[in-house]
Amino acid sequence: MPGRESSPIQSERDSNVAMLARVNFLFAVSLLTLLIFYFTGRFVILKAVSAAAAVAVPYFIAGYTLATLMLTVLVVAKTAIRFEAIATAARAREPTSRSVAAQLLLCLGHLCTFYAIYTLFAIDSNTLDWWPWLLAPLLYIGGLYVAVTDFRKRAAQAPT
């Protein structure tokens, strides 16, 4: 607000909220990248490798896992550099409803991912729930889209 004076506690809280928003955004980017690599490897690449050379599948899985982890780190690093101030409120401004909605969508995507991993490793479960595996990427894509459009709108409105 224009007439509001900023205290050291308020500025520290604002910087903590901004840091949490950045971490949430980058965590969502990394999980979305890993989910994309997982679905690509499981349903496209692994079927082709197992049909061509079934003996080489374990070696291929090990190499594919290392490659996906390295590429995920690369994507997250590039994202962190390119969108340094993404989904954060500017100083002396309150967060917009878009930035709050983006953070909410990303957090719901995290919950779906954690539930999907829980059902994957649950001992008492005989069936695998597919809805969290499909819903999590959609929530991540929606949250990242809202965060990027909010960032661009704030950048366009910022005084130069």
Q: What is the mean pLDDT of the chain?
A: 81
Greater confidence (52 vs 6) lies with 52
> Alpha-carbon distance 113 to 15, whole Å?
27
DSSP 115-141: HHHHHHH-SS--S---HHHHHHHHHHH
Q: What is the pLDDT of residue 107?
A: 94
Q: What is the pLDDT of residues 122-154, one digit of tens each?
A: 767 666 678 888 999 999 999 999 988 888 887
Is residue 145 in some structural domain?
yes
Distance, CA of 89 to CA of 14 (rounded, Å): 8
Write a three-state SS string for 95-106. Answer: CCHHHHHHHHHH
Name the residue range of residue 37's domain: 8-157
pLDDT, one tens digit per residue, over 34-79 is: 889 988 888 888 888 888 888 888 888 889 989 998 999 998 888 8
Angle at 37 between CA 31 and CA 42, to 5 degrees: 125
Give a yes or no: residue 110 inside a domain. Answer: yes
- At residue 14, the pLDDT reads 65
The total of structural domains in the chain comes to 1
Q: Where are the alpha helices (DSSP H) in 41-56?
A: 46-52
Q: Are 61 and 112 in contact (CB under 8 A)?
A: no
Instruction: Tell me what pLDDT residue 109 has.
Output: 93
Report residue 89's pLDDT band, with 50, 70 and 90 as the boundaries: very low
Q: Is the pLDDT of residue 13 over 70?
A: no
Q: Residue 3 domain-assigned?
A: no
Percent of the chain with pLDDT over 70: 78
Judge whether 2 lies within some domain. no
Residue 1 located in a structural domain: no
Q: Whole-prediction pTM value?
A: 0.74
Rg (CA), the chain: 20
